[in-house]
Structure 1
Amino acid sequence: MNATETESVVREHVRALNDRDLPALLAGFTDDAVWITGSSVARGRTELTEFFTGALERPLPTWTVETLLVDGDRAACQLVERFLVNGHRRTHAVAGFYRLRDGLIASARIYREGSADVE
């Protein structure tokens, strides 16, 4: 995979997440993909579907890509995450590390500054 293709896949992932487009979001993953964020781990299509279905029902954040570095099939992103909790706006720095296979996300590790837990 070249850098342009990898960047496109990651940006499409962020777009689908921000648009709450579950079919497009899930279409961006391999069948055996692993998503790790905080203490949550989703492995495979069934767990990814459950995880993101639940996430889309909560006050899901909106991500903005600040920096995106690509090396072949790997990408590192600096993102800004914004969401509301009980009428209060929260903004957090997020780092995302993606590994792609065959043009799809095979694994992602997401690190958040602060907490996205809803009180």
Structure 2
Amino acid sequence: MADRHIAAFNAGDVDALLADFADSATWVTGDYTIAEGGLREFFTEAMQALLPQLSLRRVIDGGSVIAVEMREDWSHQGENKSAGLIAVFDLVDSKIAKAKIYREGSADA
């Protein structure tokens, strides 16, 4: 699932990305919480504005909880940035029900 998530994210394929999320999924990063039903708009806007790319470092599989360590590279207002991050995915019926993102430094662009 981590490889599929990263491939969809890097391709900017929101439909493929959302295929691994439950319809009721939530996303928390920094001070931002994206509530149920808001992921499509969130990912579409982020991918267009920031042009993010992820690279996998490692996956820790806890069964119903997966921790994925990645590096994210993006551009914001013409400035290239990168940060390490960890995504903790809570799974229900093999779908991401909740994602909590921990990014080195600020969660802001």
State the AA in 2 paired with 1:78: E
State the AA in 2 paired with 1:96: A
Deviation at 1:84? 2.3
Match status 1:30 vs 2:11: no
Q: 1 CA distance for matches of 2:67 and 2:49?
A: 26
How do 1:1-20 residues align onto structure 2 when only pairs under 5 Å count?
9-20=1-12
Q: 2 CA distance for matches of 1:86 and 1:41?
A: 23
Deviation at 1:92? 0.6
Match among 21, 31, 34 for residue 42 of structure 1: 34
Structure 1: stretches of 5+ with no match in the other structure? 1-8
What is the aligned-residue identity percentage? Answer: 36
Matched with 1:66 is: 57
Deviation per CA, 1:61-95: give whole Å up to 9, x if none: 21111011101121112111112234432121111
Matched with 1:95 is: 86
Report the TM-score when normalising by structure 2: 0.88
Q: Which structure dedicates a bigger proportion of its chain to helix?
A: 1
The total of aligned residue pairs comes to 109
Deviation at 1:38? 1.1
The alignment partner of 2:26 has SS state of strand
Report the TM-score when normalising by structure 1: 0.82
Q: 2 CA distance for matches of 1:52 and 1:83?
A: 14
Taking only aligned residues, the RMSD between alpha carbons, in angstroms, comes to 1.6
Over alpha carbons, which structure has the higher Rg?
1
Matched with 1:82 is: 73
Deviation per CA, 1:8-53: give whole Å up to 9, x if none: x222112111110011111111011111111111122x21112112
Structure 2: stretches of 5+ with no match in the other structure? none
